[in-house]
């Protein structure tokens, strides 16, 4: 039996009512909503102040928008996460228990599950925010920044070398060797899993994030490169064609130029 929704409307106590208003390149939440996490006796209320809180919704890098859309059933969980995460000198933007950024990331993942977001998608999104948390927040900072770099650069470098080996440009990886292409692809796929799993050891308690990030990068590397090339060509064309209108390919920058109603 599906779990009852953990989200609720603060005013009525009933089902969540999501009301947003565009404010330049960001959005204002016009109606507070709540979320009940099983680990806490007190619910989380977002935002603490309707007048002060703004969100850019789901910040998905454009090259991954085909895999994780900016809008969807996960949006309430993302807005909740925005309210729980405090950056720099910002004040607390939610009502309820204080949580650190790593715990906010966990709440995001579990909240997405409650919203029916498929397992692979929600774990990929959790991994993406954990990477940002490890890079910007976890301490010791030097260690965690190194963990992120070693994982991404290590897997990416091996992926490039494996591709060159498959194309017989540079035969250097022992598990590829001089074999039929289908054998090399099979071996490459196996080590695309084993290598990130080995590197995930340095992630400690967050080893799942390290493993998922490495495996996802290994299997999506070529698709991502192809999308970057195609989108780069589009970006150039859009910049040239849209220049007479005073806009460009970046929607956020275009929205910032449009005045909002007072």
Per-residue pLDDT tens digits for 159-173: 999 888 888 888 888
> Is residue 85 one of the residues assigned to a domain?
yes
Per-residue pLDDT tens digits for 213-234: 999 999 888 877 887 888 889 8
Residue 76 and residue 23 share a domain: yes
> For every residue of the chain, which 3-state class applies, written as one string?
CCCCCCEEECCCCCCCCCCEEEECCEEEECCCEEECCCCCCCCEEECCCCCCCCECCCCCCHHHCCCCCCCCCCHHHHHHHHHHCCCCCCCCCCECCCCCHHHHHHHHHHHHHHCCCCHHHHHHHHHHHHHHHHHHCCCCHHHHHHHHHHHHHHHHHHHHHHHHHHCCCCCCCCCCCCCCHHHHHHHHHHHHHHHHHHHHHHHHHHHHHHHHHHHHHHHHHHHHHHHHHHHHHHHHHHHHHHHHHCCCCCHHHHHHCCCCCC
Residue 148 and residue 123 share a domain: no
Residue 145 and residue 54 share a domain: no
Per-residue pLDDT tens digits for 28-83: 999 999 999 999 999 999 999 999 899 887 666 555 666 676 678 899 999 999 99
Domains held by the chain: number: 2
Residue-level pLDDT at 49: 93
Per-residue pLDDT tens digits for 153-203: 999 999 999 888 888 888 888 887 778 878 888 888 999 999 999 999 999
Residue 197 and residue 150 share a domain: yes
Residue 209 and residue 130 share a domain: no
> Is residue 259 one of the residues assigned to a domain?
no
Residue-level pLDDT at 65: 64
> Is residue 65 one of the residues assigned to a domain?
yes
> Is residue 190 one of the residues assigned to a domain?
yes
Structural domain span for residue 99: 17-136
Quick one: what percent of the chain has pLDDT higher than 70? 92
Residue 105 and residue 65 share a domain: yes
Q: Give residue 261's pLDDT band: very low, low, confident or very high (50, 70, 90).
A: low
> Is residue 128 one of the residues assigned to a domain?
yes
Residue 132 and residue 145 share a domain: no
């Amino acid at each position: 039996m599906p779990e009852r929704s953990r989200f609720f409307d603060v005013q009525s106590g009933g089902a969540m009512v999501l009301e947003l208003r565009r404010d330049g390149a960001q959005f204002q939440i016009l109606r507070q909503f709540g979320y009940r996490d099983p680990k806490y006796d007190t619910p989380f209320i977002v935002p603490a102040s309707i007048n002060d809180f703004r969100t850019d919704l789901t910040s998905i890098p454009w090259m991954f928008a085909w895999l994780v859309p900016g809008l969807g059933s996960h949006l309430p969980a993302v807005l909740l996460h925005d309210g729980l995460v405090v950056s720099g000198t910002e004040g607390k933007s939610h009502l309820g228990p204080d949580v650190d950024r790593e715990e906010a990331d966990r709440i995001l993942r579990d909240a997405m599950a409650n919203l029916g977001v498929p397992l692979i998608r929600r774990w990929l999104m959790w991994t993406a925010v954990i990477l940002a948390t490890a890079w910007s927040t976890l301490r010791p900072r030097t260690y965690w920044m190194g963990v992120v770099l070693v994982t991404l650069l290590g897997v990416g470098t091996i992926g490039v070398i494996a591709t060159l080996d498959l194309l017989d440009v540079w035969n250097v990886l022992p598990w590829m060797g001089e074999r039929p292409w289908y054998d090399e692809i099979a071996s490459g796929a196996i080590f695309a899993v084993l290598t990130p799993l080995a590197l995930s050891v340095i992630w400690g308690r967050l080893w799942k994030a390290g493993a998922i990030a490495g495996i996802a990068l290994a299997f999506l590397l070529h698709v991502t490169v192809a999308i970057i090339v195609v989108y780069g060509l589009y970006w150039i064309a859009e910049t040239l064609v849209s220049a007479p209108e005073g806009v460009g390919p970046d929607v956020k920058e275009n929205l910032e130029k449009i005045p909002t109603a007072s």
